[in-house]
Structure 1
């Protein structure tokens, strides 16, 4: 009886803790979403009138189409909207740049990381432990410490203000993580499956493509999506290497909007919601494929 009561109390405490954690994580996003749908006057009034002024999607329409919300047309003589308007209107293009760069980084990461992880885990190579430690150790260096040398390197090859420079940099930043994830996934694959494939006459490349990749597909997809998220949200090198508005990425564009002295809170929040949507869409498959894949890879 006492044991059962103790188990119920522990279960209740666990769910309460998860509920508090969920509230802590979701509250900023929900407040931002609410602010993006609420007129600025209602937000900044004392007290704030969150639910009494109605909701509208004018901020989203303006960002996507350029149609100025009615509240700003009325206030045009009292506040300067041109600077905010021009910057926030670049957000859809900046999001497209971020998606393109992140997608290319994901593809290149998987093409490079899968053979590297297979060689490090399954093949007899001298010093592969040192190689793996070196690859992972490169990510221990603070990015700020290498930002200027990398910038000068890209400038020397005349790649600044191009999406190519961002793809190169982000592949270098995310590749160690992808290799580590795939090493863990490939290590869980039963060795007897590969030995049977070798008996059938398959070479290492064929084993990787026809045996290892299908078995570890969940982890591979999850690792690729993880690289996508890291690349999509990266700010420092996006700021250094893409100073021209024509190649700016989403984080850099949103940063320029947020520091504007006349920034509209509603427009800024709407831009934040639009900017994080691709990352939010990716979160579910990352959890599903990578976490479950690491646990189920060997059984498959």
Structure 2
């Protein structure tokens, strides 16, 4: 009994530490976005003296300057114009990441199925090429990819960024899904062939339903990778209207005089899409994977 209680206590403490480490920065960003700088940077005042404020959110979304920066002598350099780009950049990142996720699933799942279930010439060589391609340093690919996108007329367009982000995540998608498809019982596909199902029908009717949790997990990874990618987004985005949120946040963070409240507001707004996506797919992906492991 004592050993069981000790294990539960240690598990609870470790889980609490992990939650604090992962969720703590999000809560701090939310707190910092709702508290004015005069409270954050002062030891003599507290949030109970001034209360919570949405003035930073009003500036980000509507351009309304906080009242504290309208008075004479206020340091207006703490208000960065980059913060006004956050809503548009957030929309750009959402479109880019969702498109990269969809393309990864549409291209990666059939490719993984072919690698897992079929034999064809140069199969091992092509598979190793796909899997080892992420080992090439990103900095070595910036110039060639920029020249390629320039020749295609995609510089300054989100379509070029979508293509690059899709290519970045595809090796992981193919690797994970091919491992899953390889473990599916061969008898299922043999029975489908007896029922006159083609290879494509077997993929759609048998492999895809069984692989939905894994497909959801790899799609989520592709979204996260695209949403947080910076180097190619910076090089290919061009004007402010097509910049993803990672580029705008980097520009905002480089301003050493920026308001802490404004910076925290931008950080929390940038986190919201990933939090929403995780909440939406968490139950489907995690419970599906757990149930699959129990049944196996």
TM-score by length of 1: 0.90
Q: Is the 8 A contact 2:29 2:264 kept in 1?
A: yes
Q: Is the 8 A contact 1:101 1:231 kept in 2?
A: yes
RMSD: 2.1
Q: Is the 8 A contact 2:79 2:262 kept in 1?
A: no
Q: Equivalents in 2 of 1:79, 1:136: separation in Å?
A: 52
* Cα-to-partner distance string for 1:202-242 (whole Å, 9 max, x where unaligned): 11111111221122222212221221121111111111111
Q: Equivalents in 2 of 1:82, 1:16: separation in Å?
A: 40
Q: Where in structure 2 are the equivalents of 1:37-76 lying within 5 Å?
A: 37-46=34-43, 49-74=46-71
Q: Where in structure 2 are the equivalents of 1:70-85 lying within 5 Å?
A: 70-74=67-71, 77-81=73-77, 84=80
SS of match in other structure, 1:160: coil
Match of 1:183 in 2: 178
Match of 1:17 in 2: 14
SS of match in other structure, 1:74: coil
Q: Equivalents in 2 of 1:253, 1:102: separation in Å?
A: 16
Structure-2 change in CA distance of 1:272 and 1:250 (3 Å): same
Structure-2 change in CA distance of 1:292 and 1:181 (3 Å): farther
Q: 20-29 or 241-250: which moved more?
A: 20-29
Q: Is the 8 A contact 1:226 1:286 kept in 2?
A: no
Q: Determine whether 1:111 maps to 2:106.
A: yes
In structure 2, stretches of 5+ residues that fail to align are: none
Match of 1:6 in 2: 3
Q: Equivalents in 1 of 2:184, 2:31: separation in Å?
A: 47
In structure 1, stretches of 5+ residues that fail to align are: none
Q: Determine whether 1:208 maps to 2:203.
A: yes
Deviation at 1:138, TM superposition (A): 0.5
Q: Is the 8 A contact 1:121 1:183 kept in 2?
A: yes
TM-score by length of 2: 0.91
SS of match in other structure, 1:90: helix
Deviation at 1:283, TM superposition (A): 2.1
Match of 2:151 in 1: 156
Q: Determine whether 1:272 maps to 2:290.
A: no
Match of 1:35 in 2: 32
Q: Determine whether 1:260 maps to 2:262.
A: no
Q: Equivalents in 1 of 2:44, 2:20: separation in Å?
A: 23
Structure-2 change in CA distance of 1:251 and 1:27 (3 Å): same
Deviation at 1:175, TM superposition (A): 0.7
Q: Equivalents in 1 of 2:149, 2:45: separation in Å?
A: 48
Match of 1:139 in 2: 134
Q: Determine whether 1:100 maps to 2:95.
A: yes
